[in-house]
């Protein structure tokens, strides 16, 4: 831990690394968010398909 009251001083290399890290996060965030949304949507579709399949089997097993 850095004690309170001590100011961090970065050299030019430190600032370049910080900027590169922020740019990498800003570039990767939309892609990773899109992939997460696709995975969540696919899981929802799978659950809906299983429910529809179960309902179809129940209807097929008990005709009117």
pLDDT at 8: 75
How far apart CA 25 and CA 16 sit, in angstroms, is 14
Give the pLDDT mean for 24-43: 92
pLDDT at 10: 83
pLDDT at 59: 87
Answer yes or no: is pLDDT of 7 > 90: no
The separation between CA 8 and the C-alpha centre of its own chain, rounded to angstroms, equals: 33
Answer yes or no: is pLDDT of 2 > 70: no
Give the pLDDT mean for 1-11: 75
How far apart CA 60 and CA 8 sit, in angstroms, is 71
pLDDT at 29: 93
Give the pLDDT mean for 10-31: 94
């Amino acid at each position: 831990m850095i004690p309170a009251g001590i100011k961090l001083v970065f050299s030019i290399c430190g600032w370049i690394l910080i900027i590169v890290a922020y740019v990498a996060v800003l570039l990767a965030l939309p892609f990773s968010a899109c992939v997460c949304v696709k995975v969540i949507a696919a899981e929802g579709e799978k659950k809906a398909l299983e429910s529809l399949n179960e309902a179809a089997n129940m209807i097929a097993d008990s005709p009117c």
